[in-house]
Structure 1
Amino acid sequence: MLNTSYSQIVNTAKIGTYEKVDLNEVVEFGLEENVTPSHSDRHKVLFLGIDIQNDFMEEGSLGVPGAHKDVEQITKFLYDNLGQITEIAVSLDTHELNQIFHPSWWVNQEGEHPEPLTIITSNDIEQGKWKPVKEQDASIDYVRHLEKLGQKNLCIWPYHCIEGTPGATLESQFSKMIHYHSTVRQTRIKKVVKGQDPLSEMYGIIKPEYSQSVRTNEGLLNYIRQFDQVIIAGEAESHCVYESVKQIAEHFSNDLKWTQNIYVLKDGMSCIPGFEEENEKAWKALVNNYGIQLVESTDLKL
């Protein structure tokens, strides 16, 4: 039984509002608890939070409808299972203005930049509909490889998660909860920065969609494999959460007994509008191929 209530840590009315996080208060709450440190856990559980950042909240520059409720469910789950979750890792989507998936990278014949959610194909480039402002050969090579590899087509996104801006930081209520967990369980939060290659989109946390320079994050894979159970949630379901789960499952496809212990919280993630049908089919394939388990946070007993 914790001495600190959920509402003392998380103000659900402030989710997505850029509330200032007072870590001094959070740490004081954590130091009042008497919970066994995580290094004593025999059954090791990792919670992996994908891109739970301000720009993916509902009023963010790339807001995902439903994100606020997702954060509420996630933080309640972490609080209710604080003594069973061994460690927490989070990914941080981190970009610059000039990257291949942002409008500034491309122009049409009138010199206009594409609107957000524009899809650019190799056929568009060949017909002169869109052309890269710079890195022309590499940009065309990237789009062609996406299609060749069967990856998601190049989608132009609003400027989001720009390094050093408030939109790139962890959502405040989620941040408070994971730092509270860190204090109580005496463990370090693993923070994984992704998406800094200007010539590649990086939805998943393990590797980019396609890149000539950025490699698979073997160290992160080895870290994840140390755990008996991995629980995943975040934003957006259709892109960064799905691709992260897919990359992890594919890497460990020779150990289906382990991949069956990957749990994805259905009520802790939401889809970008317009991708629902594709998203549903993709998750079904992961479940069928690797035994990934899609669950409600309230049904998962640790």
Structure 2
Amino acid sequence: MKRPSFWDPRKVSSNFAPDLHRAREEGRLARITSVKDQVKSGDRHLLVLIDMERDFMPDGRLPVKGSFEDVERLGERIIHGITGEHYTDIMVTIDKHPPITIHSDVWFRDELGNPPDVTLPVRMVLDDPNPKRPVFKGHYVDGSVKTYVPNAMPKHTVAYWQHLNKTNQGDIWVWPDHCREGTDGVSIVPALAELIEWAAVARGFEPVYLYKGMIAQVDWFGPFRPCMDVPSHPQGGLQTAYLDYIGVCRSTEFAGEAKDFCVRWGMMQALEYFGSNPDVLGRVSFLNDCTSAIFPDSPDVKALDAAMQAKGVQLITHDAPFRS
């Protein structure tokens, strides 16, 4: 089968307007068999892409070192998976945030009223749980520590931090502004967006998009559930429809950014949801060379690999054979 002529790995690091019309036309002319009969027979094969957005690239607002190379390898995997008539479905998660969130600098202030310096991420650790004026210690990745108090919802901020710790999700992280609505950072990497367009038209399927991160008072790392449920929000709980999508597929592959946060918790959510169904997890693969970490030396990275393998998930590379 003919490769898409527009695909050039050297373009992955470029921020350009994707030529979706050209991608559609090449998909239309690709003469690749539709997924219709495969889907009807239950022979479905899903690719899940977690937060492959501009702001998580090395030149983005929350850079992940190695992510350009991840996209290059992933692009080759997609091309082979489409021309080889393997993938029948693609799910894309999109991290997107409003102006004020619990992980933004405006949520906290120091004794002078200044927000944290988020040139680098800051880990907020509860120091004094006084509900009227709780105190957090901001731990910077360079080793420095400063004192902060919440600007908004102090009682909730304490309860949220306590929930994170009780559920082994760690502390509150304050990040550089990223994936804000209206910015180029929320967009899928252009070269990858073209491939998704081409793949969808070539095989005749509709990509599934899962948007996350729009609940101000909680984080939302793993795409299938916020870090703490918010019953008053329509997306404030477990996204079972997307997880059940995985359950009906004969094989599922995961890739994305970043391995120590959104990818990690997405995989942990899947492991928990299908924990009593090892048959489903045995059909899941993780593209280990198509994901990178914000903090590559974090013990969470190795812990995720161990957790996946313990549940039967296969760790593979982009050039591994496709599972039938």
TM-score class, shorter: over 0.9
Tell whether 2:289 aligns with 1:301. Answer: no
The unaligned stretches of length 5 or more in structure 2 are: 137-146
How many angstroms does 1:190 deviate by? 0.5
Can you give the 5+ residue segments of structure 1 that lack an aligned partner in the other structure?
A: none
Q: Deviations over 1:227-270 (max 9, x none)?
A: 11110101011111111111012101111121011111011000
> Contact 2:224–2:238 at 8 Å: present in 1 too?
yes
Query: Following TM superposition, by how much is the alpha carbon of 1:90 offset from its aligned partner in structure 2, in angstroms?
Result: 0.2
Matches within 5 A, 1:42-191: 42=41, 43-82=43-82, 83-116=85-118, 117-123=121-127, 126-127=134-135, 129-191=147-209
Match of 1:23 in 2: 20
8 Å CA contact retained: 2:86, 2:322:
no
Q: Which has the higher helix share?
A: 1
Match of 2:301 among 279, 283, 286: 279
Look up the SS of the partner of 1:122 in the other structure: strand
Between the aligned partners of 1:69 and 1:273, the Cα distance in structure 2 is 17
What is the rounded CA distance, in whole Å, between the counterparts of 1:235 and 1:182 in structure 2? 22
Greater alpha carbon shift after TM alignment, 236-245 vs 10-19: 10-19
- Identify the match of residue 247 of structure 1 among 269, 272, 282: 269
Question: What is the alpha-carbon distance in structure 2 between the residues aligned to residue 175 and residue 209 of structure 1?
Answer: 28
Calculate percent identity across the aligned residue pairs.
23
CA distance in 1, matches of 2:98, 2:265: 21
Is 1:34 aligned to 2:34, yes or no? no
Alpha-carbon distance between aligned partners in 1 of 2:322 and 2:204, rounded to the nearest angstrom:
22
Displacement over 3 Å in runs of 4+: 124-128
User: Is the deviation greater in 205-214 or in 60-69?
Assistant: 205-214
TM-score with structure 1 length normalisation?
Answer: 0.94
Matched residue type, 1:185: R
Counterpart amino acid of residue 278 in structure 1? D
How big is the alpha-carbon RMSD for the aligned residues of Structure 1 and Structure 2? 1.5
Q: Over residues 21-66 of structure 1, what are the superposed CA-to-partner deviations in whole Å (9 max), with x where a residue is unaligned?
A: 1111111101111111112114210000000000001100001000
Determine if contact 1:16/1:54 at 8 Å carries over to the other structure: no
Superposition map of 1:229-244 within 5 A: 229-244=251-266
**Deviation per residue, 1:70-99 (Å, 9 max, x gap):** 000001000011110011010000002210
Counterpart of 2:182 in 1: which secondary structure?
A: coil
Length-normalised TM-score, structure 2: 0.88
